[in-house]
Amino acid sequence: MRARERAVEGGFTLVEAIIVIVIIGIIGAIVAVFIRAPIAGYADRVARAEALDEADLALRRMARDIRAALPNSVRVSADGSALELLLTRTGGRYLAAADNATNGEPPLDFENDANTSFTVVGGLAAPVAAGDFVVVYNLGPGMAPADAYNLNNDPAGNNRNIARISAAAAAGAAQISLADNPFARQLEPMPSPGNRFQVVSGAVTYRCQTEGTRRVLRRYAGYAIEAAMPDTPQGGGSALLAARLADCANLFRYDPPGATEMRQSGLVILNLALHTKGATDLTGDGASVRLLYQVHIDNTP
């Protein structure tokens, strides 16, 4: 009995246990009030950092292609949700008939369309593939025959400045072979004043579109070059560049806006906004990050 009494005297009563639990609960609530704000702030910073990284990567990818665009080939949709360009692989100077080569090197012929090979002065800086295109003196949409987008609009090649390469050539190669020579069939021959040419691998489109419950930015490539800018390019492939876009309108802006205002240089403005939370829905939670990027391009053909 005495040992049992000593054990009871050394323990906690129910009232004491309840008081301890209440005190711990009060302390925990006080601590939670002070900790919740820093934790929420940290989560917001992480979400913003992830959105910024995604936006920055997308902008850098687009800027790289825009800087490599064929002069006067950048065009933007009316609502600013899409941008298209012709992507160059390399370029150089061609041997002209006026250069009077004496060692049998063929010039780029603007008179006889039977001559389908020409000499690259100094050799190619980079390899080209069969199926690429040679473009000479591109002035942009609506400026036929100096409009590379006129490729499939004029399949006979009677009024265009773009020709398909028939055989691959390695870097340093001195000649390029063409499938045909539309330059000699132009209604009004338009050689380059500086004997310059560019090699184009194809058309590329960046487009903001709605997919399910989210807005995404996609890169399209490998589709046919058309006179009119396609709404959604068909026949090629696409890759997801960014998700959770807050808005598609005015994503792209181009100055000069068209062929009516020719300039030696242009400015593409990229205005990309991404939701930081609520990433997959069209409204998000109102929180977003926005990056503005300007890309200067050389329009000298």
Specify the pLDDT at position 256: 65
Specify the pLDDT at position 40: 72
pLDDT digits (tens, 9 = 90+) for 81-110: 999 999 999 999 999 988 877 788 999 999
Six token digits for residue 301:
């053909």
**Across 121-134, average pLDDT:** 96
Six token digits for residue 206:
């960046």
Specify the pLDDT at position 213: 86
Highest mean pLDDT of the ranges 10-14, 42-46, 48-52, 73-77: 73-77
Specify the pLDDT at position 209: 95
pLDDT digits (tens, 9 = 90+) for 150-198: 999 888 888 899 999 999 999 999 999 999 999 999 988 999 999 999 9
**Across 32-55, average pLDDT:** 81
User: Residue 259 pLDDT > 50, yes or no?
Assistant: no
3-state secondary structure of 261: coil
Q: What percent of the chain has pLDDT over 90?
A: 62
Specify the pLDDT at position 260: 43
Region at 24 (left for phi over 0; alpha for psi -120 to 50; beta for the rest): alpha
What count of Cα atoms within 13 Å lies in the side-chain half-sphere of residue 229? Answer: 22
What count of Cα atoms within 13 Å lies in the side-chain half-sphere of residue 8? Answer: 5
Six token digits for residue 197:
């040419």
Specify the pLDDT at position 270: 97
3-state secondary structure of 217: strand
Specify the pLDDT at position 291: 94
Amino acid at the residue 92? G
Specify the pLDDT at position 4: 53
| Other beta carbons within 10 Å of 80 | 18
What mean pLDDT is reported for the chain? Answer: 88
What is d(CA 221, CA 237) in angstroms, rounded to the nearest whole number?
A: 6
What is d(CA 260, CA 258) in angstroms, rounded to the nearest whole number?
A: 5
Indicate the pLDDT class of residue 10, thresholds 50, 70 and 90: low
**Across 36-45, average pLDDT:** 76
pTM, full prediction: 0.85
pLDDT digits (tens, 9 = 90+) for 130-153: 999 999 999 988 888 899 999 998
